[in-house]
Chains A and B, each alone.
Chain A
Amino acid sequence: MDISLKNVEYRYQADSPFERLAISDVSIDVPSGTYLAVIGHTGSGKSTVLQHLNALLKPTKGSVLIGSREIKAGRKEKNLKGVREKVGIVFQFPEHQLFEETVEKDIMFGPMNFGVTEKEAKARARSAINLVGLPEEILEKSPFDLSGGQMRRVAIAGVLAMEPEVIVLDEPTAGLDPRGRKEIMDLFYSLHKKRNLSTVLVTHSMEDAARYADDIVVMHQGKVFTKGTPEQIFSDPKALLELGLDVPEVVGLQLKIEEAFNTKFSKISLSEEELAEMVAELMEGGGPK
């Protein structure tokens, strides 16, 4: 399913004294099967963009195309269930939204809300809990007796059980330990490939953006600052640093080495091995310049 934002503007509390312009003139395409990363500061408009992807927010100008459904500014939109069923959002700290008595009921809530039978929802809960790497016994437990990392996985299972075609992730690994972080990111990546999903990842981690995404959009002060492949985006690290954003650690190190040696490598490398090779070559060159 393709999603595309066309010249989207969004004002919070429009036409009130509290009106605030959050994003303007934002155009982003997410063709079916794409893994897109959205990066930018806190307050750059990332979360506002994200909420347009399943019509939680409706643009105050411009339009959003979600599959065949167009959400246009200034029009009353009804029956958005179909859209929300196909686009699953994993919000930041999704474990804060757990509420049911048992893990199983919590996972079943979403699918049943969209009209799936109880039997089918149970089956989906079972397969979703396996997908996120938790034992089936956990289905009988209260979600509030689990550890933080397990709660996060249960919340993610709840979104997966809806079997969405597009998954939107808002900082899905914040607060997890390094192993948990890698497991969750690898899980989403393998689902993305296996089920041919579209994935939109909102993140502060330049490492994750560089490693998983096909395309990156950089948001700044409510506008799209630039977009391109990870190679394109990080080939101009100074531009990102000037916005106060980070670059992947490996790129940061390359810049420091270039500065110390007063030289420039032929390209910006996103791989640690490759940078080490380039440095080895430089060292073999011998003698200060």
Chain B
Amino acid sequence: MSKPLVRIENVSFSYVGQHTPALKNISFDIFEGEWLAIVGHNGSGKSTLAKLLNGLQFPQQGSIEVCGVTLSEDTVWDVRENVGMVFQNPDNQFVGTTVRDDVAFGLENHGIPRETMVERVQTSLDKVNMGTFLNQEPHHLSGGQKQRVAIAGVLALQPSIIILDEATSMLDPKGRAEVIKTVRELKDRENITVISITHDLEEAAKADRIIVMNKGELYREGTPEEIFEMDEELIKLGLDIPFPVKMSKIMREKGITLTKSYLTEEELVTELWTSHSKM
């Protein structure tokens, strides 16, 4: 196992004026280079967790360590150099008048020299396949393209961790697929650690590990296979079961022999075909 990049220890948090805590005594580690999906119903505490991870809020109890630095009001700016965040609404995070300006914005804030800036804007946009859109204005872009520019803006600052806070939930299916593909490539090529906060279980199924949040508590942690074995329990938690898993179950009920529940349709079809040809 690679080393923990983020350590969350006994963290609790309540918003001012609310009597039920948003997070109750949460502890877990996030490892270098992994894709971690944090799932849970609306209001389960998953977005609060994201806000704590880059110091938009601070825990009232417990501690958070990012790349060896304990998060506090004094260290928040150092931590944010390592943690980039992409939010839900593509229209709320486009700050520049062109794609180039938008990606340059964060670099300017960090006082990066111009030559480096020009180069980093281009390479970051290339990484999200938006390299030819430099002079485009935001209203010419689709939702998926805007989110990819937002990811490029984050990449330009060369963080070790990217947090996607429901970054695909306002996109159409095509935009959603574009963003997920981009993130996958980044993770594989750049060894970036991805924390994806989502309630799209098809998306979570592609992660290395899943954490299920429920009512502010860490309910379960495991690989996608382990989590989706929870089956009906997930529905009780306000979530859903990915379609291939659901279908595997129904097929078994109809008397078809399957060795396991599949996370992808391709694997399911392969087993059907293999067992059919053996007959």
Contacts and interface: CB of A to CB of B under 8 A. Distances in A.
Interface of A: 41-42, 93, 147-149, 174-180, 204, 244, 246, 249-250, 252-253, 256-257, 260-261, 272-273, 275-277, 279-280, 282-283, 286-288
B250 A272 contact: yes
B143 interface: yes
Given A42-B174, A147-B42, A179 B238 contact: yes
A175 B197 CA distance: 12
A286 B276 CA distance: 6
A178 B276 contact: no
B246 A253 contact: no
A62 B240 CA distance: 44
A276 to B, nearest CB: 4
A176 B42 CA distance: 7
A274 to B, nearest CB: 10
B276 A261 contact: yes
B265 A253 contact: yes
Chain B binding site: helix, strand, loop or mixed by DSSP?
A: helix
Contacts of A275: 247
6 contacts: A41-B174, A253-B265, A256-B265, A272-B247, A276-B250, A288-B276
B254 A277 contact: yes
B251 A276 contact: yes
A12 to B, nearest CB: 13
Contacts of B40: 177
A279 B173 contact: no
A273 B42 contact: no
A42 B143 contact: yes
Given A41-B174, A252-B265, A257-B269, A280 B255 contact: yes
Contact of A253 (B166, B173, B239, B247): B247
Interface string B101-138: 00000000000000000000000000000000000000
B1 interface: no
Chain A binding site: helix, strand, loop or mixed by DSSP?
A: helix
A223 to B, nearest CB: 19
A283 B276 CA distance: 6
A246 B276 contact: no
A234 B11 CA distance: 49
A42 B272 CA distance: 36
Nearest to A288: B277
Interface residues of B, number: 41
Contact of A280 (B240, B256, B266): B256
Given A177-B42, A177-B239, A261 B273 contact: yes
B88 interface: yes
Contacts of B219: none
B256 A178 contact: no
B41 A179 contact: yes
B129 to A, nearest CB: 18
Nearest to B273: A260
A148 B251 CA distance: 37
Given A260-B269, A261-B276, A276-B253, A204 B173 contact: yes
B238 A178 contact: yes
Contacts of B175: 42
Contact of B172 (A175, A204, A279): A204
B279 A287 contact: yes
B250 A257 contact: no
A147 B166 CA distance: 15
B201 A178 contact: yes
Contacts of A253: 243-244, 247, 265, 268-269
Interface string B257-279: 00000000110111011011101
A256 B279 CA distance: 20
A244 B174 contact: yes
B143 A178 contact: no
B41 A279 contact: no
Interface string B227-254: 0000000010011100110110011011
Contacts of B266: 256
